[in-house]
């Protein structure tokens, strides 16, 4: 129930939907029940043995209580026949039935429309909350979580949840209300017969509950398997070149098909249980109705009941409808079981505490004048420390290069600056202000970031360069492309700047993708540039073009560079050598060569590889 009420909170303001839904449902149920109860007087009129044309004045007594529905029908039918004749009474009853059906369906339409609005409102809020929290999570979360699992939670699980939450209102209100109205009418028609009828209803309920008992566990398992299947699909499509290059197509097919077969098996098992509920319920209904016909027929034929033959037929028809809301409740519980299971998975994403949020009184940075400082910074992935007490200053307008062996912590240091991840201890300061105390937006607005991996979206070249800057102009986009030495190849593509790059930029070469990413960073005209192996994907000719552009861009601008080719950072104002999460050496290129330490070894190693 705790999970359900948390999910229901996403329907707020729930009274906006619940109040009109309750009112419309109340009238819909009332008129629906009235339609069935009017069958008795309709049949009684048809079976009347009075003269169809004459209008005699019978001896009438006072109207009986509403709790004696059979007597009430008998009284008013005889009254109408005595005043209007059988034909007139039949017309009057048919008119009431038609009006009642119209009103029942009008209110039913508005109740369903209100429920649909609530369902979509709930879906919107849940999906927005989940997606917002996912976007705020630090990068470490995504390193440990399957992307397909996240996608399954945001899509299929959320879809399942919305029907569970809104469907529950029918379980707790509409269907029980319908049952109450039916029972009132049944008791009013025949108290003795209804008591007998209700003795067998719990048997049906028990049988159906046994059928749906295991559905929740199966629903949880099916969602887990489904997320695995989506993960395999995502990985296969992302790494399609590697899959084909290593002749692993059959292996990937088998892996996906095995999970697909497992998922299908679980879904079939769930479907069998769900489908079994309907015929079992229908069979039990027929058995109960048959028993009631036998018992009630005995009472009527032996004059042990006040029910007339017409009223008894109406009673049987009304009772046969009693099992419809009972069955609907059992089906709804099946949906709820699936929805609660999916809801628990969705709430895992909402409750994930690794989100990085702004401080309560966060400062808005307008620029960077003094520079950047790491002050006793330590960072860890779980229990594994990656950075140990890093302290260094990067003056404004200076270029600092981070170098060192692979896995030393260079990229981690870079990720800490825009707060993709958070320090375990220590501080990172911009102009003397801890970045935890500034707004995320203003902090990242200071930066132009080019990653080792060229991240492009399945959109036009123009929109990829202008990403995050919807108000920019074509002139500025072109100027940024020229600085990144991308303009010439762009205008030679099929549609120039309006050419679509394909999924992950598949239509472009590695060098072209990287230059578009650099143009995107240039367009921001940031005071701080973060370049993580920015030229690593370029061929020699492209690297020279881009490196020249970057050198011009970095003049009088604070820049932090991670470089694979050490020859590209020899002119940096300061080079920081990172080894095992610590600052091993620092200085200019020539100062570090004279120290004859790790940096000199790295230079010699690359020189040897180049000569070889």
> Which is more confident, 301 or 580?
580
Q: Which is nearest to 560 in space by CA: 344, 320, 390, 361?
A: 390
Cis peptide bond upstream of 273, omega within 30: no
Q: Burial level of 201, CB count in 10 A (0-12/13-18/19+)?
A: middle
Q: Which residues are bridge partners to 399 per DSSP?
A: 559
Q: Residue 60: what pLDDT?
A: 44
How many angstroms separate the CA atoms of 326 and 280, rounded? 13
Which of 82-96, 295-309, 379-393, 528-542 has the largest mean confidence? 379-393
Instruction: Tell me the pLDDT band of 278, cut-offs 50, 70 and 90.
Output: low
Average pLDDT of the chain is 79
Q: Please, are residues 233 and 149 in contact by the beta-carbon 8 Å criterion?
A: no
Least confident of 272-286, 347-361, 370-384, 521-535: 272-286
Q: Please, are residues 472 and 481 in contact by the beta-carbon 8 Å criterion?
A: no
Residue 71 tokens read as 């007597």
Mean pLDDT for the stretch of residues 307-317: 77
Q: Between 39-46 and 309-351, two packed helices, what is the crossing angle to 10 degrees?
A: 160
Q: Please, are residues 449 and 521 in contact by the beta-carbon 8 Å criterion?
A: yes
Cα atoms in the 13 Å half-sphere on the side-chain side of 99: 6
3-state per-residue secondary structure call for 151-172: HHHHHHHHHHHHHHHHHHHHHH
- From residue 506, alpha-carbon distances to 53, 496, 511 in Å are 87, 16, 12
Q: Please, are residues 354 and 141 in contact by the beta-carbon 8 Å criterion?
A: yes
pLDDT digits (tens, 9 = 90+) for 29-47: 888 888 777 777 777 777 6
Instruction: Tell me the pLDDT band of 378, cut-offs 50, 70 and 90.
Output: very high
How many angstroms separate the CA atoms of 364 and 498, rounded? 35
Alpha carbon of residue 113 to chain centroid: 22
User: For 2-351, CATH number?
Assistant: 1.20.1560.10
Q: Please, are residues 70 and 63 in contact by the beta-carbon 8 Å criterion?
A: no
Q: Does residue 528 surpass a pLDDT of 70?
A: yes
Instruction: Tell me the pLDDT band of 62, cut-offs 50, 70 and 90.
Output: low
pLDDT digits (tens, 9 = 90+) for 220-261: 667 667 777 777 777 777 777 667 766 778 878 888 888 888
Mean pLDDT for the stretch of residues 435-460: 85
Mean pLDDT for the stretch of residues 472-487: 89
> Which is more confident, 75 or 510?
510
Q: Residue 577: what pLDDT?
A: 92
Instruction: Tell me the pLDDT band of 52, cut-offs 50, 70 and 90.
Output: very low
Least confident of 208-217, 282-291, 434-443: 208-217
Which of 299-313, 314-328, 457-471, 573-587 has the largest mean confidence? 573-587
Least confident of 193-207, 483-497, 498-512, 591-605: 193-207
> Which is more confident, 111 or 10?
111
Q: Which is nearest to 518 in space by CA: 490, 499, 494?
A: 490
Instruction: Tell me the pLDDT band of 17, cut-offs 50, 70 and 90.
Output: confident
Q: Compute and round to an integer the Cα radius of gyration of the chain.
A: 37
| CATH number for domain 371-611, candidates 3.40.50.10680, 3.40.50.970, 3.40.50.300, 3.40.50.20 | 3.40.50.300
pLDDT digits (tens, 9 = 90+) for 107-126: 999 988 888 888 888 888 88
pLDDT digits (tens, 9 = 90+) for 341-366: 777 778 877 777 766 777 777 888 88
Helix (H) or strand (E) holding 574: strand 574-579
- From residue 313, alpha-carbon distances to 79, 246, 550 in Å are 21, 74, 90
How many angstroms separate the CA atoms of 597 and 15, rounded? 71
Q: Please, are residues 461 and 488 in contact by the beta-carbon 8 Å criterion?
A: no
Cα atoms in the 13 Å half-sphere on the side-chain side of 167: 19
Which of 126-130, 384-388, 536-540 has the largest mean confidence? 384-388
Instruction: Tell me the pLDDT band of 71, cut-offs 50, 70 and 90.
Output: low
Residue 127 tokens read as 């999906």
Q: Please, are residues 111 and 24 in contact by the beta-carbon 8 Å criterion?
A: yes
Look up the pTM and report it: 0.65
Domain residues of the chain, as ranges?
A: 2-351, 371-611
Instruction: Tell me the pLDDT band of 212, cut-offs 50, 70 and 90.
Output: low
């Amino acid at each position: 129930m705790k999970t359900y009420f948390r999910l229901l909170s996403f329907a707020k303001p729930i009274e906006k939907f619940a109040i009109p839904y309750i009112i419309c449902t109340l009238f819909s149920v009332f008129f629906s029940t009235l339609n069935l109860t009017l069958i008795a007087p309709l049949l009684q009129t048809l079976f009347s043995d009075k003269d169809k044309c004459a209008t005699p004045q019978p001896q009438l007594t006072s109207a009986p209580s509403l709790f004696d529905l059979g007597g009430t029908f008998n009284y008013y039918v005889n009254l109408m026949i005595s005043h209007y004749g059988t034909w007139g009474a039949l017309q009057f009853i048919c008119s009431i039935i038609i009006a009642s059906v119209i009103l029942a369906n009008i209110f039913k339409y508005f109740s369903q429309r209100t429920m649909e609005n609530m369902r979509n409102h709930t879906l919107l809020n849940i999906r927005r909350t989940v997606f917002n929290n996912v976007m705020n999570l630090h990068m470490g979360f995504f390193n440990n979580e399957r992307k397909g699992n996240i996608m399954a939670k945001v899509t299929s699980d959320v879809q399942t949840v919305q029907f569970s939450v809104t469907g529950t209102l029918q379980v707790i209100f509409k269907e029980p209300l319908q049952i109450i109205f039916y029972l009132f009418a049944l008791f009013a028609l025949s108290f003795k017969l209804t008591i007998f009828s209700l003795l067998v209803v719990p048997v049906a309920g028990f049988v159906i509950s046994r059928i749906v008992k295991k559905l929740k566990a199966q629903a949880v398992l099916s969602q887990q398997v489904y997320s695995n299947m989506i993960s395999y699909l995502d990985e296969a499509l992302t790494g399609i070149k590697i899959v084909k290059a290593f002749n692993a197509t059959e292996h990937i097919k088998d892996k996906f098909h095995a999970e697909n077969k497992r998922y299908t098996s679980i879904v079939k098992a769930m479907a069998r249980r769900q489908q079994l509920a309907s015929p079992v319920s229908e069979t039990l209904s027929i058995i109960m109705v048959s028993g009631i016909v036998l018992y009630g027929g005995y009472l009527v034929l032996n004059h042990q009941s006040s029910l007339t033959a017409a009223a008894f037929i109406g009673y049987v028809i009304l009772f046969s409808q009693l099992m419809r809301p009972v069955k609907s409740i059992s089906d709804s519980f099946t949906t709820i079981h699936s929805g609660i299971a999916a809801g628990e998975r969705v709430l895992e994403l909402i409750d994930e505490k690794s989100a990085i949020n702004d401080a309560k009184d966060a400062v808005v940075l307008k620029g960077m004048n003094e520079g950047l400082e790491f002050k006793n910074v330590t960072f860890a992935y779980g229990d594994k420390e990656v950075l140990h007490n890093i302290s260094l200053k990067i003056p404004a307008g200076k270029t600092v290069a981070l170098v060192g062996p692979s896995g030393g912590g260079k990229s981690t240091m870079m990720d800490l600056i825009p707060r993709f991840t958070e320090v375990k201890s220590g501080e990172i300061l911009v102009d003397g202000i801890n970045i935890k105390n500034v707004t995320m937006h203003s902090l990242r607005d200071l930066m132009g970031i080019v990653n080792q991996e060229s991240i492009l979206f399945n959109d036009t070249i123009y929109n990829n360069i202008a990403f995050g800057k919807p108000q920019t102009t074509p002139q500025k986009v072109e100027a940024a492309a020229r600085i990144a030495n991308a303009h010439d190849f762009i205008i030679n593509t099929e549609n120039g700047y309006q050419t679509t790059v394909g999924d992950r930029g598949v239509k472009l070469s590695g060098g072209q993708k990287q230059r578009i990413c650099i143009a995107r960073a240039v367009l921001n005209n940031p005071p701080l540039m973060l370049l993580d192996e920015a030229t690593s994907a370029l061929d020699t000719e492209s690297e020279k073009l881009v490196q020249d552009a970057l050198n011009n861009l970095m003049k009088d601008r604070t820049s932090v560079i991670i470089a694979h080719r050490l020859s590209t950072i020899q002119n940096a104002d300061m080079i920081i050598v990172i080894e095992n999460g610590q600052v091993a050496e620092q200085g200019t290129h020539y100062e570090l060569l004279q120290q004859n330490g790790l940096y000199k070894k790295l230079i010699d190693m690359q020189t040897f590889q180049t000569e070889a």
